[in-house]
Structure 1
């Protein structure tokens, strides 16, 4: 059966799968690959860095061969970043982390679909008030940044779906294979937004060491924290947002002492910079969601889209027909369960 939903109809994509617009790693090549494979590739426009956008926007615009979009952090951008991106003709603009209202008019002057990510019901209501065409319900299982006081994906998605009514909802957080996509659809979502699984693909704009760290990582090793943003001097509003990452020496050093770190971060930031320079720690934390256990390889993104769609179809078919499960379809590609050495 084909997984046709309100989301696939609205965006004109074959599969109800969207690439999370991960800042730094969801570059033009990855977004284009997801779009060519039948999903919605979303470029990680993040804080609207003009140099990065001018480099990556032409890549996805020229190579996508299907609907694509670009995402931004509301708290970190000005309207001109959205306007510049819209000049390349994206089919969607994705807004997250903060009030989307200042950027809605720019989007509405085009035919782009407005996608707004929400982390609680108040944000969902606000997104509907400003006229979002699609909502993304982000659960705390997500890798990277999310609300400090967010909700888990399983109970949060149906609440947002009920509130949204006819507006399609994508589920985000801990979804890394077709079974997660099938679950999202069963919860009332019209698709899934996927980050960690696509970060560990051949086209992701990351250091290979990060990709292999994701392959080796386990969900139980991930942790939501503000420590790494504070220690590295990132401008994220840490009172509102934390980030889920794999383990890190600075987490061990500052766990339980976040208030102390926030009150006087300068010494830690100096030490952090020195440790990066010496190679003692990686330049960037390894953002990873709780579904990282399901990441066992670094294939082309098109393979991930195809496998996820096929596995979701099989899972939904099995659920309604009660056919015996073919366990070989659910195994990691290397046939092994992750272990930590």
Structure 2
């Protein structure tokens, strides 16, 4: 049973699975591995660091003959970063968080597919108006940054599917195995965008301590907050919070974001603790599906495994729906 959708047909993929372009950790090796495994690998261009792109773009371009793409944070980049990526002829460019308008037309002019991630219905409408080829509906279960006051994947995805039809939608947020992919398809999505699960793969650009934390973590250990962005001096806009695993500064400053922002000594203490090795240099971004992650496979193998799990889950669901109820 092949899972053919509008998304797989658009890109010529074997499986309706895309790699979330996680800034820094979704490097060229990971993106190419996902593409070689039959999904769509998206390089994590993040803030548009040109040195990082110069290192990672050749890796993905030279490591796969399959479709691949690049993702950026709309609020953080300038057109130069997009231009640099387009020089390598990615099949797609994904824009997330902030206004994608300044970059959308340039992506389309280059012949790349335009993927826009949205966190509410207003952004979904804007994505349609900008001519998005694919729209990603991100629920609040997602690891890393997302809506401060968003909606869960289960309720948000079908709303976006109905709102933007016939544009294909990818579901994102809390999807960490093939059952999550199957659920996304059942909600009307054309596939799934997966982040945290791919952090724990052989090709991810993450410290071994992060991998260990993800494999050992639980969904209830994650929470959304701005505390760590404030402590780090991150420039992320205030309308976005980040879902991470637990952290000493979260325990100390939870619910006191305004106080932390106004306390330079507290922020200095954070950086000094990082320098002394008492706390990790970066938060561990992790979604609510983290309980389902318990190994460190190659990303290519993981794509195939998730696709098979999704197929099996849909077969089981179909068998259950065809069973007669007692007394019928």
TM-score tier by shorter-chain length is over 0.9
Which of 299, 302, 310 is matched with 1:301 structurally? 299
Residue 17 (1) aligns with residue 17 (2): yes
Aligned length: 322
CA contact (8 A) 1:117 1:137 kept: yes
- CA distance in 2 between counterparts of 1:267 and 1:38 reads 49
Does structure 1 residue 32 correspond to structure 2 residue 32? yes
User: What is the TM-score of this pair, normalised by structure 1?
Assistant: 0.93
Moved over 3 A (4+): none
Superposed CA RMSD: 1.1
Cα displacement string for residues 245-300 of structure 1 (whole angstroms, at most 9, x for unaligned residues): 000000001011112112x1422221111101111000110000000000001111
Give the CA deviation at 1:112.
Answer: 0.7
Gap regions ≥5 residues in structure 2: 322-328
- Which residue of structure 2 lines up, in the alignment, with residue 281 of structure 1? 279
Structure 2 residue aligned with 1:253 = 252
Q: Distance in 2 between matches of 1:288 and 1:31?
A: 19
Q: CA deviation at 1:303?
A: 1.7
Gap runs ≥5 in structure 1:
324-341
State whether residues 136 and 172 of structure 2, in contact with CA within 8 Å, keep that contact through their aligned partners in structure 1: yes
SS at 2:170's partner residue?
strand
Aligned to 1:326: none
Residue 153 (structure 2) aligns with: 153
Q: Report SS of the residue matched to 1:322.
A: helix
TM-score, normalised to structure 2, is 0.97
In 1, the alpha carbon distance for the partners of 2:223 and 2:35 equals: 31
Residues 226 and 180 from structure 1, CA distance in 2 versus in 1: closer, same or farther, beyond 3 angstroms? same
Deviations 1:83-116 (A, max 9, x none): 1100000000000001111001210111210000
Structure 1 partner of 2:324: none
The offset of 1:236, in angstroms, is 0.5
Distance in structure 2 (CA, Å) of the matches to 1:64 and 1:167: 27
Tell me, what secondary structure is at the counterpart of 2:42? strand
Report matched runs for 1:294-333 at 5 Å: 294-322=292-320
